[in-house]
Amino acid sequence: MKIAMLGSGFIARFYATSLHDQRRKDQVVSVYSRNKENAGRFAKDYGLDHFTDDMLEAIEHPEVDVVLISLPNHLHKAAVEACAKAKKGVLCTKPLGRTAKEAKEMLDMVEEAQIFAGYLEDLCYTPKFLKSLESVKNGAIGKVLWAKSRETHPGPHSDWFWDKEKSGGGAIIDLACHCVEISRNYIGKEVRPLEVMCWADTQVHPIDAEDHAIALVKYANGAIGQFEVSWAFRGGMDLRDEVMGTEGTIWINNFLRTGFEMFTTGDRDNYVAEKAEVDKGWLFPVGDEAHDLGYPNMFTDMFEAMETNRQPRETFYDGYVVNAVLDAAFKSAETKMWEPVILEDWRGADVEEVSKTAVSFDENYNLIKEEILPNGDIKYILKHKTTGDIVQKIKS
């Protein structure tokens, strides 16, 4: 694939490095930036023949097969609209929109134009995530009851992130979009998110948006998703997921403490890892940052989906659902109440909340818990099927 890159900043460089690394065949051939000098520097760094400060010129470039949007959030909609008019496939960085309304408008644009559209949710492509998701889908931990995702760091790189109007919010719109989609994958994308309870506050920075938030998302099958996000966390970038099921548990540390530790006196300036705050003392570098963050797997899925005429793992519809959950989180943070997730277009299953199943122990009792005691006895905690009385039995 030959790609037009819209944007020349931090995320655009991450994307381009992933696409051009290790002799990959998919190449960026054009770059657009609102600042032509930045576009020229990007083109020089990545060996591109074409750069411009005219977005339409990059999109309509005759060599371009697909457009990659790595622009600030408030520019996503205009870029998607231009791609739809030009009938060029489009990949958009997260979050898809600033609101569900904006995301739905973009979804409608690409579907009406009948062009390929992929949602670039890189943390749903990390090696650890893909491996753990396969285990979950194979039933290794039983029914998923709770999926928790955490992303925290000391704050984003660019000025527009800190502008509530341009970004659409603070840490929630920036980071919880990852966390919500991670939980949706574990719980099942076909399961409808119903309502959200969220606490958010501006604890540290002099901004209008929130820099810290925690929320619970209730799903139609009784599962709970949870996110923890912060722009006030000190010590680097912390990416962790936890999944609890009826038959097992998964813990994942994607970035901050992954087994690579190094001490240096810091005599030279060195880039350590994204959001790292220091370059001396004990450090936690990342072996292959782009790969550990999921970028190569993400682009492989996107381009193979284009070539084989299938949907990618992460679609514009997924981005729309995520924005709807975040809308409910923002509202809940204001009202301090559970708020419904408003989805005008639900394409999953019509699953009602399932009743809690009981494991029968014998004709009179259901099993609550079984455990082996230190002396080798087996203890059963039981509930009577008729009276509800709870008792224990010991098997020597």
Q: Say if residue 25 is in the same domain as residue 140.
A: no
Position 49, amino acid: D
Burial 106-139 (b: 16+ CB within 10 A, else e): bbebbeebebbbbbbbbbbbbebbeebbeebeee
Domain boundary among 122, 145, 175: 122
Q: Does the pLDDT value for residue 335 go beyond 80?
A: yes
Query: Is 375 part of a structural domain of the chain?
Result: yes
Tell me: the pLDDT tens digits for 159-174? 999 999 999 999 999 9
Measured distance CA(120)–CA(310) in Å, rounded: 16
Q: Say if residue 201 is in the same domain as residue 212.
A: yes
Q: Say if residue 117 is in the same domain as residue 150.
A: no
193 cis-preceded (ω within 30 degrees of 0): no
Number of domains in the chain: 3
Eight-state DSSP code of residue 297: H
SS3 at position 288: coil
Nearest to 75 by CA among 32, 17, 111: 32
| CATH label of the domain that carries residue 94 | 3.40.50.720
Measured distance CA(121)–CA(318) in Å, rounded: 9
Q: Say if residue 159 is in the same domain as residue 118.
A: no
Minimum mean pLDDT among 22-31, 56-65, 136-145, 148-157: which range?
22-31
Q: Say if residue 116 is in the same domain as residue 130.
A: no
Query: Is 317 part of a structural domain of the chain?
Result: yes
Q: Does the pLDDT value for residue 290 go beyond 90?
A: no
Tell me: the pLDDT tens digits for 128-187? 999 999 999 999 999 999 999 999 999 998 999 999 999 999 999 999 999 999 999 999
Q: Say if residue 267 is in the same domain as residue 367.
A: no
The verdict on pTM exceeding 0.85 is yes
The reported pLDDT for the residue numbered 352 is: 63
Query: Is 346 part of a structural domain of the chain?
Result: no
Q: Say if residue 330 is in the same domain as residue 266.
A: yes
Residues in the chain: 396
Measured distance CA(90)–CA(94) in Å, rounded: 13
The mean of the pLDDT values for the chain is: 93
Q: Does the pLDDT value for residue 44 go beyond 90?
A: yes
The reported pLDDT for the residue numbered 355 is: 57
Query: Is 350 part of a structural domain of the chain?
Result: no
Q: Say if residue 197 is in the same domain as residue 313.
A: yes
Query: Is 90 part of a structural domain of the chain?
Result: yes
Query: Is 354 part of a structural domain of the chain?
Result: no
Q: Domain containing 200: what range?
A: 124-293+307-340
Tell me: the pLDDT tens digits for 208-230? 999 999 999 999 999 999 999 99
Judge whether 94 and 106 are in contact, CB under 8 Å: no
Query: Is 347 part of a structural domain of the chain?
Result: no
Q: Say if residue 252 is in the same domain as residue 371.
A: no
| CATH label of the domain that carries residue 239 | 3.30.360.10
Q: Say if residue 221 is in the same domain as residue 189.
A: yes
Q: Say if residue 148 is in the same domain as residue 257.
A: yes
